[in-house]
Each structure stands twice: as C-alpha cells, then as structure tokens.
C-alpha cells in the first residue's frame, strides 16, 4: 500500500514537471461554487414541503441563533434560482454544488409520499444549469433532516440508514439522467456534533460521546448502502460518480514532540469516517477504537460507546467511493492533553487545540487564515488513503459583509495556490474545487451575521438582490484564465 502510494506520487510529479506552470489549473480540472438548501432556498413551507430540524430549531429555539433569524426566506432561491444560475454563468463556473432538501421531496421523510412540486423545483434548477453549460454536483444530505425522522431519534437510530437510502433512490430515479456527480453526506463530523450538545446545531441533542458515535455509524452504513444501491440499480445506465464530503481542520503540532497528538486528532476527526471507506483495510482506524474502548471501560460501561462494525460491514463499505469530497477552511495547533466532559469525543481524542494569534482572523471564531495547512492536509489524505481522487467541495472565508472583500480575495488566491502546489509539486490527485459560497446566506447558528458569499445579498430587501463582490470578479478571472493572476504571485 505504502509502496503503491509512493509510485503514484513519483509518476504524477514527473508528469507535471514537464512544462506545467505550478500556478495553472490542470486540463480537466473543474471549477465552480457551492451552496446548501436550508441556507439559501427559503420557501420553508411552500408547495407541500415538510418541516425539517432546522425549521424546528429556528422556530422553537431561535435564542440559539446569533441574530435570532431563520431560513424561512433566506436568499429565496426557491423563487430566484435563475438569478443564481445567471451569476454562476457570468462567473464562468463549470459546476454548481447545491443540496436537495429531503423534506421538500419527501415531506415526511419516507418515500411513500413524494412531493411533485419539490421534484419540479429541482428539475427546473438542474435544467437551467445544463442549459447554461453548468454541471450540477448534488449533495443528497446537507443537514436538513425531516422532522418526522428526528421524532424517531434522528441519526443515532440506525433505521435512518434505510430511509436515507430510499430517499437517495428517489433522487437517482428523478434526476440521475442529468446529475452525474453525487455527494451522499456533507460533513458528518459537524452534524454528529449536533447530537453531542443541547446548545448546538439542529437537532441539538445532548448525548456526547454516544449519540455522536451512533450517528457516525448510521452515516457510514447509509453511505455504503447508497453507493452499492447505485451500483446495482443505476450506475450502468446513468454512469455517475458518488462521493462523500468530509470536513477537517488541519492539526499542526505545537512542537515537534507533539506529533502523536495531531495524528490522533486526524484519526478521530477524519479517520473515523474516511478509513472505513477509503483505506484498503477498511474498518475504523485502530487508535480511536482502542481509546474509546479503554475510556468506556474506565467509565464502568459493559460495552464500548463506539459501536463495532461487523466483518461483513467492513467488506461492504471498503471502496464505496468514486471520489473524496473535502471541505477545508483552517488549522489548529495541537498538543497532548485531556479536555471535555465525561464522556465526550473531545476527551476520547486526547488532544488540546488552539490557534496561533498571528494567523489572520475572519468573522467566524473558528476560522483563521492558514493557506499552507491545505497543502499539508491534502498530502495527509493522499498518503493515508492511496491518493484517491479529491474534490475540494468547500473552501471560503467569512466577513461582516461589503462588496470590497479584499480579505476574501486574498484567502481564495492563497488557498488555491497551496492546492495547486499539492497537485503539481506533490502529485495529490485533486480534480475539482467549488468555492463556499456563491451567496451570502443563513450561516446556521451565526444567522446572517457572518457572510461567506462571493455575491452579496441584501437581507433587508424582500427581493433579495444579489451583487457580485470583488471576490466574485477575481474568481471570474481565475475560472476563465484557469490560473492564479500574476498580481497574486509572490
Ligand atoms: C514548480 O515548482 C517546483 C518546486 O518548487 C519547481 O522545481 C518547478 O520548476 C516549478 N515549475 C514551474 C514550471 O515553475
Ligand atoms: C478595496 O479596499 C482596498 C483596501 O482595503 C483598497 O486598496 C481598494 O482601493 C478598494 N477598492 C475599491 C474598488 O474600493
């Protein structure tokens, strides 16, 4: 395995060294922008859509949201999607990553009742994209679980894997003739944490160290079953590709003798999902299994809080990918140490995290600008999992709004430069990039206080006008020239 990886890296490096500029995107590399249904669509109860867990959280516990707002109208993309397509087209985007709202398609989560108005909406969007030469890349689940399924316990309940597979089948049947790139899940790491705190993301359930690991298991089962189902029922005809979008924060050892703390961090936060799918051996990585087993025993539990995977499941899951979607924003510094409640994933991980005060800040407390970390993280993935095809499905910067977003411009150019080094110099197999985000939108618990869009949206205006920011203009230049402009090179 290691030997193979080295071979691939060497061959690719030699291949690119001949004449390829390190600041140019390779032929065939895909460039575009991304959004998610709850953050932009609005139309929360339009035309038969069911209630989802974000409707419930923002309506019943708006106190959790920074500005107490919700996604009832958001960017009104349910009505204004042609505006979004127009801006993508003007930017020269080759693709648009968006997600489908489960409760808009299946109001109660189950596939016995299909909302035709929801099918029509996504048909209109997909057809408009294709008419304008933009390829759709569709996230099947981006955090907006139908409330009826949360009423059954939500993601910790393994039965959701089956319901999720049934929902995915409805999408393949209705849209798979035109959608060729699918992502099963966006950032399981983030929504598993929604079962580890009652002041967090929806559904905000306080079962740390248990509900989060159960969620992780359901997600792995669902992902693998969807991949296999597509193989059996659709792939031959539709010829699409399926991946999963994982999020991670790079962990830079605070000193050279703290490397093991960051390696553990990688295995807990990325490896728990990536290893069963992308490694040759499958299953969970051994480090988290040992640590959670050990802590569970110490806490007096008879069985481990990390549910085991059967050998049959290991086999079924290994290799269930055509690409790895990867969301990346920032870095931490890491060192050994124990923190967090008993029990909790934080305590199980055994790493204490901080950020370097020298790293430039954004509007988000967790997001500092650390471009070199992207190159390191991409190399970590390539080495750990045999250099799989990687699609950077999210990368972006938050501020408080405004059209002259010079910090965001710098963020994109610097991160893209590091990604291109990973591709050209290190031979990492990255084949696509969608900037987060096309639009200012409902940024979850931050409401509308943090802005990630390359297009400004005026949330005081009921018509929700979109205006391209400086960053949209620079991305337009990059998408069209397919290289980093001279003025951003050192
Ligand atoms: C790309 O970067 C590598 C390593 O820094 C360097 O050896 C090579 O000359 C560069 N290629 C080009 C075309 O600039
Ligand atoms: C944008 O801001 C930068 C500095 O923050 C300034 O140099 C530049 O002139 C501004 N551009 C416009 C179009 O206002």
- For the Cβ of 94 lying below 6 angstroms from any atom of ligand 1, the answer is no
Average pLDDT for 81-88: 98
pLDDT exceeds cutoff 70 at 99: yes
- Per-residue pLDDT tens for 321-346? 999 999 999 999 999 999 999 999 99
Determine the distance separating the centroid of ligand 1 and the alpha carbon of 233, expressed in angstroms: 45
Catalytic choice (41, 135, 165, 394): 394
Which of 93, 28, 181 lies closest to 437, judged by CA? 93
Q: Does residue 468 come out as left (phi exceeding 0), alpha (psi in the -120 to 50 range) or beta?
A: beta
Q: Is residue 160 part of a domain?
A: yes
Digit-coded pLDDT (tens) for 436-446: 999 999 999 99
Domain of 278: which CATH number? 3.20.20.80
Q: How far is CA 27 from the centre of its chain?
A: 25
Q: 22 C-alpha vs ligand 1 centroid, how far in Å?
A: 6
The first and second tokens of residue 102, run together, are: 């489960």
Nearest ligand to residue 21 Cα: 1
Q: Assess if residue 25 is contained within a domain.
A: no
Residue 36 has pLDDT above 80, yes or no: yes
Other CB atoms within 10 Å distance of the CB of residue 173: 15
pLDDT, mean of residues 125-139:
99
Conformational region of residue 401, where left means phi above 0, alpha means psi within -120 to 50, and beta covers everything else: left
Q: Is 394 a catalytic residue?
A: yes
* Domain total in the chain: 1
Backbone angles phi, psi at 57, to 5 degrees: -60, -45
- The protein residue whose alpha carbon is closest to atom 10 in ligand 1 is 22
Give the mutation target among 14, 17, 420, 428 for probing the ligand 1 site: most ligand atoms within 8 A of CB.
Answer: 17
* 126 belongs to a structural domain: yes
Tell me if 4 is assigned to some domain: no
Boundaries of domain holding 279: 30-483
Looking at residue 20, what is its pLDDT? 62
Q: Are residues 224 and 304 in contact, defined by beta-carbon separation less than 8 angstroms?
A: no
**Sign of dihedral through CA atoms 264, 266, 272, 274?**
negative
Residue 256's pLDDT band (cuts 50, 70, 90): very high
The pLDDT value given to residue 1: 35
Long-range contacts of 318-321 (CB under 8 A, 24+ apart): 318/276, 318/277, 318/279, 318/280, 318/281, 318/282, 319/277, 320/223, 320/224, 320/227, 320/228, 320/242, 320/277, 321/227, 321/242, 321/243, 321/244, 321/277, 321/278, 321/388
Domain assignment present for 14: no
Q: Which residues make beta-bridge pairs with 146?
A: 52
Residue 417 lies in a domain: yes
Q: What are the tens digits of pLDDT across the range 395-422?
A: 999 999 999 999 999 999 999 999 999 9
Tell me what the mean pLDDT of segment 215-234 comes to.
98
- Closest atom of ligand 2 to 404 CA is 1
**Cross-strand bridge partners of residue 245:** 186, 325
Q: Phi then psi for 55, rounded to 5 degrees?
A: -60, -45
Measured by CA distance, the residue closest to atom 3 of ligand 2 is 406
**Taking residues 79-92, what's their average pLDDT?**
98
The residue behind tokens 């907006």 is 144
CB distance 22 to ligand 1 below 6 Å: yes
Relative to beta strand 323-336, strand 351-354 is: antiparallel
Q: Residue 73: inside a domain, yes or no? A: yes
Overall residue count recorded for the chain in this entry: 490
**Beta carbon of 406 within 6 Å of any ligand 2 atom:** yes
Query: What's residue 18's pLDDT?
Result: 40
Task: Let me know if residue 334 belongs to a domain.
Answer: yes
Q: What is the mean pLDDT of residues 137-161?
A: 98
């Amino acid at each position: 395995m290691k030997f193979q990886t080295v071979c691939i890296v060497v061959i690719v490096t030699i291949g690119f060294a001949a004449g390829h500029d390190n600041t140019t995107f390779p032929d065939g590399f895909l460039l575009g922008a991304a959004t998610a249904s709850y953050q932009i669509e609005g139309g929360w109860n339009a035309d038969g859509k069911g209630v989802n867990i974000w409707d419930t959280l923002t309506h019943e516990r708006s106190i959790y949201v920074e500005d107490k707002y919700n996604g009832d109208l958001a960017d009104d993309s349910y009505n204004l999607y042609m505006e979004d397509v127009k801006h993508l087209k003007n930017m020269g985007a080759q693709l648009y990553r968006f997600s489908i709202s489960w409760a808009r398609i299946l109001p109660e989560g189950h596939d016995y009742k299909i909302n035709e108005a929801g099918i029509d909406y996504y048909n209109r969007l997909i057809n408009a994209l294709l008419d304008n030469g933009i390829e759709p890349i569709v996230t099947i689940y981006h955090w907006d679980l139908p409330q009826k399924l949360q009423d059954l316990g939500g993601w910790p309940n393994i039965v959701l894997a089956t319901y999720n597979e049934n929902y995915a089948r409805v999408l393949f049947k209705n849209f798979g003739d035109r959608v060729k790139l699918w992502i099963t899940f966006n950032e399981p790491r983030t929504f598993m944490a929604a079962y580890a705190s009652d002041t967090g993301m929806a559904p905000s359930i306080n079962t740390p160290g248990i509900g989060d690991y159960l969620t992780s298991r359901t997600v792995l089962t669902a992902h693998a079953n969807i991949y296999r189902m597509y193989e059996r029922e659709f792939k031959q005809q539709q010829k699409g590709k399926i991946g999963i979008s994982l999020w991670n924060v790079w962990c830079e050892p605070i000193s050279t003798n703290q490397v093991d703390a960051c390696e553990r961090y990688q295995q807990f936060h990325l490896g728990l999902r990536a290893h069963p799918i992308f490694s040759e051996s499958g299953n969970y990585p051994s480090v988290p299994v040992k640590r959670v087993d050990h802590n569970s025993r110490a806490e007096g539990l008879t069985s481990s809080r990390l549910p085991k995977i059967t050998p049959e499941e290991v086999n079924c899951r290994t290799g269930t990918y055509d690409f790895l979607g990867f969301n990346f924003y920032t870095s931490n510094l890491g060192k050994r140490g124990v923190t967090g409640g008993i029990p909790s994933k934080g305590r199980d991980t055994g790493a204490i995290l901080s950020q370097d005060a020298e790293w430039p800040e954004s509007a988000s407390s967790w997001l500092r600008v650390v471009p070199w970390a992207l190159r390191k993280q991409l190399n970590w993935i390539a080495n750990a999992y045999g250099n799989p095809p990687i699609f950077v499905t999210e990368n972006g910067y938050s501020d408080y709004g405004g059209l002259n977003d010079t910090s965001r411009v710098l963020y994109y150019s610097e991160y893209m430069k590091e990604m291109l080094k990973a591709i050209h110099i290190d031979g990492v197999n990255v084949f696509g990039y969608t900037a987060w985000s096309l639009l200012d939108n409902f940024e979850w618990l931050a409401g509308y206080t943090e802005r990630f869009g390359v297009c400004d949206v005026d949330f005081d205006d009921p018509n929700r006008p979109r205006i391209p920011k400086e960053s949209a203009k620079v991305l337009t230049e990059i998408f069209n020239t397919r290289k980093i402009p001279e003025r951003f090179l050192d």
